[in-house]
Every structure is written in structure tokens, then in C-alpha cells.
Chain A
Amino acid sequence: GESVGLHLPTLSVQEGDNSIINCAYSNSASDYFIWYKQESGKGPQFIIDIRSNMDKRQGQRVTVLLNKTVKHLSLQIAATQPGDSAVYFCAEIYTGTASKLTFGTGTRLQVTL
């Protein structure tokens, strides 16, 4: 299930299940979006990206969906593994702001055995 912690919402899933992590972005003019995975004490690691002229993109075990109408991104992880446990951030880029990355709040994914 999903719960909201002090600052970071947490999603708990069983190993082998599919995970869906959601993100609401802020700028309707953003033209590029990236999902990052951050493990404890480390920097963000690129997972998958999508341009604003697309609504779906698939990678290995991951799929990103973009709904511009409601400014919503989702990251789907198939057959979630213990190694997927981390904090996941979406980030948006608007080239009108010198292409700076703006990060979302983040979601902690906990994979239970």
C-alpha cells in the first residue's frame, strides 16, 4: 500500500509484483522528463526519459507514461525486485529556463519478500 511519511510518500510492493510510481509535475511548458532512482547515500541514477511529444516510452522492465492534460507522469516497474528498493524522483526540464532540472517530491519504494 501507499502511505505518506514525514516528507516522502512510501510505496510497498511484494517482490514479483508490478510497481507504479506517480508524479505530478508543475510546468505545463516542460518539454522533457526524466525518472531517477536514488539509493541511500548516493546520487541519482538515470532510469528512463520521455519527451513531451510522446505519451509512452518503454525500457527494460520500466515504462514511463506521460499525461500532459493533467500534468502527470508515472513510472511502471515490472516484476519488482529487492534491488529496486530506493527513492524515485521525476524531474522536468523546460528549455526556457536554461534546461535546469526541477525535481519532484520523490517516492520511496519498498520491496517486501
Chain B
Amino acid sequence: GAVVSQHPSRVICKSGTSVKIECRSLDFQATTMFWYRQFPKQSLMLMATSNEGSKATYEQGVEKDKFLINHASLTLSTLTVTSAHPEDSSFYICSARQGAYYGYTFGSGTRLTVV
């Protein structure tokens, strides 16, 4: 079956630094990848949609200069949290779609803690 690998699974960074999260589709080509953020005891909130080779589309209220998304190939998308602050601490999850409308596969998530 389709597998999406997300790395790192946990990261702790200092306030003001940047951190990069990678999302890879291991056995399929993902024309579209999605990035979600999840706070404790809450649902997944879509941050942005990225299509290979084009700029990401951000949801309302998500700062595109703070959350940089790059989707340079059909198997890799990255999310960079720039100038991280403690309020950015959250669980970040990526999802990849296999071209069809409904074939979504999720990564295992990244727990970001900003201290």
C-alpha cells in the first residue's frame, strides 16, 4: 500500500530558529501534498496545499512567510517553520494524494517543541 514517510518525528528547537520537516511518498508519486497542524485534543487543521513545481496555496490565517513549503519533486515536500516561537509548538502532519481525488495517505507526524 501507499506509504508516506515524515521526518523528523520529534524536534525541539530554540525560539527564533528555523526547523525543516520532510514528507516523502515512498512508493508513489504525489502530485499534491497537504500540511496540517494539530493542537492537543483538537482536530487537524489544514495549513496549506502544495502541488509539485508550483507555489503552495495557504489557508486563511496561515502566514506563508512563516511556514515555507517547497514541493520540488513528486515524492518530496518540505515545511520550514521560520523564526519559531513557543506558540508554534504543535503536531504537524503531512498527507499525500496519489493523483486521484480520494487517495490520501498520511505521514506519522512531527512533534515540534519550541523552547
Contact = CB atoms under 8 A, between A and B. Distances in A.
B109 A43 contact: yes
Given A42-B109, A43-B107, A99 B102 contact: yes
Interface in B6-43: 6, 34, 41-43
A82 interface: no
Interface residues of A, number: 26
Interface stretch (A3-11, A12-20, A60-68): A3-11
Interface residues of B, number: 24
A24 B49 CA distance: 24
Given A7-B42, A43-B93, A103-B44, A98 B49 contact: yes
A43 B46 contact: no
Q: Is the interface of B mostly helix, strand, loop or mixed?
A: strand
A104 B109 contact: no
A93 B46 contact: no
Which of B44, B95, B97 gathers the greatest number of chain A CB atoms within 10 Å? B44
Interface in A3-60: 5-8, 32, 34, 36, 41-46, 49
A46 B2 CA distance: 11
B102 A8 contact: no
B106 interface: yes
Interface of B: 4, 6, 34, 41-46, 49, 57, 91, 93, 95, 97, 101-102, 104-109, 111
